[in-house]
Structures are given as structure tokens and as C-alpha cells.
Amino acid sequence: MSLNTLTKELKSLGNKGDVEILQRFFKTAPGEYGEGDVFIGIRVPVQRKVAQKHVNLAFNDIQKLLNNKIHEFRLVGLLILINKYEDADNDREKERIFNFYLKNTKAINNWDLVDLSADKIVGDFLFHNPKKKNILDELVGSNNLWERRIAMISTYAFIKKGKHKEAVSLAKRLLGDEHDLMHKAVGWMLREMGKRIDEKLLINFLDNYSHKMARTTLRYSIEKLPEAKRQYYLKK
């Protein structure tokens, strides 16, 4: 299927009634983190179905989607990439998709775009190619908010497979980050580490670093703990 067919389909699925809601939700006003982002009002489940139909779209056409000012076009491009990555039957193709993703981080410029894709491509690839994990260090040290978030959310792939060191290492480096979206990302990954691997790992981190954590990070990280433990860390 052609890019022209895909873009026509996406435009036909837009819902004007949802546009204003989405633009508020993703903070697109002047001075906000999503400033200037454009929505046409397509919900994510619908975009997933469209992406699945167009999994064979050529890379140069995916590039055009990622370059598009419309948010849903960029997300569909990323969803197609995820589908291609998961369907790839060799490491060379997976690495091609991984490199393509990293070359387009400027287009992955809102939290949903990061959260729906980072662990599935960057995280998974690095889990299976540990010699390249230094890329996480490069991303987490970036001046670009979204690259830092890509790094942190990528550790979700490791957490799901029972590995916690990557998340802990990046969380420590990001404790001083000033952006609320990073506070949320770090807290989320710490919470998942405690929930999916071992609560003791989270408790150990909290005992050592809760006094340095942003309040948002702390609240996110302790969300699944028993109430008594939650109150202990909130009042500590």
C-alpha cells in the first residue's frame, strides 16, 4: 500500500471533536513541552490497526511520516516501525530499524511517541546486543528531553526480562533532572522494577535516594507499595 493511500486513510479517520482535547492533553500551547504539535483527532487503537495494514511501507515513506507535522502521522510511522522490528527475522534488519529510530529522535517529540516505542525498539535491541548499551549513556546525557526519556523508558525492556541494573543506573543519573516528564519516567520505571522483579530492589533504592528524589518521582515509584510503606517514604 502506498503512502498516499495511508495518508488519505488517516485524514478520513480524524475527529475534529477530539482535536482540542488532545492538544490540551499533550501540552501544545506556546511555552509548553509539546508547543506547536498538530493533531487531527485519531485514537491510538485506531492508529494501531492502520499501522498493521501498512507494515510493508517503505522506509523512505516512513521517514516522510516521521517528518510530518501531524502527531498521528508520526505515531503511525513509529507503530509501523515497531511492527517491522517485531516481524524481522534477522539481527541485521533489527539493527537497521534500531539505527533508523535513533536517527529520528527529533520526530519522537512527545511522551506518548516515546512511551509507545522506546522499549520495543531501543530497549529490546540493546537487551539482545549488550555491547551497544553505551548508547543509553549517550541518550541519558542528552540536552534533548525526549532523548533522555527514550533512554529511561528503554530500560522497561530489561525490567520485563527481570533485569534491573540498567534502570537503576539511569535513575541515579536522572535524579537531578529538572523536567517533570523525567520525574514521571524515572518513578514509573522504578515502580515497575519493584512490581515486576522484586519489591526489595525498589525499597533499597528508596532507602538510599528518596531524599534526593523529586516529589513526583517518589509518588510514582511508591504507588504500588502497601499504604504503610507509602506513608513512611512520603513523610521521611
Residues contacting residue 118 through CB under 8 Å, at least 6 positions apart:
108, 149, 150, 153, 154, 156
Q: What is the mean pLDDT of residues 179-208?
A: 98
Alpha helix stretches (DSSP H) within the chain? 3-13, 16-25, 44-53, 59-66, 71-87, 91-102, 111-115, 118, 124-128, 134-140, 145-160, 165-173, 180-196, 199-209, 215-221, 227-235
Q: Decide if 150 contacts 121 (C-beta within 8 A).
A: no
Q: CA 21, 17, 35, 116: dihedral to nearest 10 degrees?
A: 70
Per-residue pLDDT tens for 140-178?
A: 999 999 999 999 999 999 999 999 999 999 999 999 999
Does the pLDDT value for residue 29 go beyond 70?
yes
CA distances from 157 to 3, 44, 54, 224, 227 (A): 31, 21, 25, 20, 28
Q: Where are the domains of the chain?
A: 1-101, 117-236
Q: Decide if 81 contacts 113 (C-beta within 8 A).
A: no
Does the pLDDT value for residue 236 go beyond 90?
no
Share of the chain above pLDDT 70, in %: 100
pLDDT of residue 11: 96
- What are the φ/ψ torsions at residue 159 (nearest 5 degrees)? -60, -45
pLDDT of residue 155: 98
CA dist 150 and 114 (Å) reads 6
Q: What is the mean pLDDT of residues 184-205?
A: 98
Architecture of domain 117-236: Alpha Horseshoe (1.25)
Does the pLDDT value for residue 124 go beyond 80?
yes
Does the pLDDT value for residue 1 go beyond 80?
no
Q: Cα 218 vs. chain centroid, distance in angstroms?
A: 20
Q: What is the mean pLDDT of residues 123-131?
A: 98
**Reported CATH class of domain 1-101:** mainly alpha
pTM value is 0.96
